[in-house]
């Protein structure tokens, strides 16, 4: 079946503009993660959704960042008033339900460049 998909693959924007990044998880996966990876760095956790539970937003770096997940499937990460330091690859991952499920499946990422 299809894996995790993300769109757009690349996004170039001007400082101060808002951007929306989309993630389509694997069908049936109730857990969804967003990460950010700056150039040459590891992954930085941003937010986690699990079913209908309140999301874990503890990794969001500022109130300019928000995310939602509609219908327990597609998720959108929104960055308002983008800054140059927001430039990074934004990765989405999903995981199947169940206590024994440990494997996250990652999408190809969206490369965001803020000019």
Partner 1 sequence: DAKTTQPNSMESNEEEPVHLPCNHSTISGTDYIHWYRQLPSQGPEYVIHGLTSNVNNRMASLAIAEDRKSSTLILHRATLRDAAVYYCILRPTGNQFYFGTGTSLTVIP
Binding site for partner 1 (CB under 8 A): 4, 33, 35, 41-45, 48, 50, 56, 58-59, 91, 93, 102-109
> Which of 33/65 has CB closer to partner 1?
33
DSSP codes of every residue in 25-73:
PPTT--EEEEEEE-TT--EEEEEEEETTSPPB-TT--STTEEEEEGGGS
Instruction: Please give the Cα distance from 83 to 15 (Å, whole number).
Output: 5
Q: Give me the least distance between CB of 22 and partner 1, in Å please.
A: 15
Closest distance to partner 1 from the beta carbon of 16 (Å): 29
| Closest to partner 1 by CB, 19 or 90 | 90
Phi, psi dihedrals of residue 46, rounded to the nearest 5°: -115, -55
Min separation Cβ 107 and partner 1, Å: 6
């Amino acid at each position: 079946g299809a894996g995790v998909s993300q769109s757009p693959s690349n996004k170039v924007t001007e400082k101060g503009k808002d951007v929306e990044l989309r993630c389509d998880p694997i069908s049936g996966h109730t857990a969804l993660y967003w990460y950010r990876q700056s150039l040459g760095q590891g992954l930085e956790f941003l937010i986690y959704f699990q079913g209908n539970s309140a999301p874990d937003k503890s990794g969001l770096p500022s109130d300019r960042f928000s995310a939602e997940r509609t219908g327990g499937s597609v998720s959108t990460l929104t960055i308002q008033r983008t800054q140059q330091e927001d430039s990074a690859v934004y990765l989405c991952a999903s995981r199947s339900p169940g206590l024994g499920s440990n494997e996250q499946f990652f999408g190809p990422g969206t490369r965001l460049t803020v000019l």
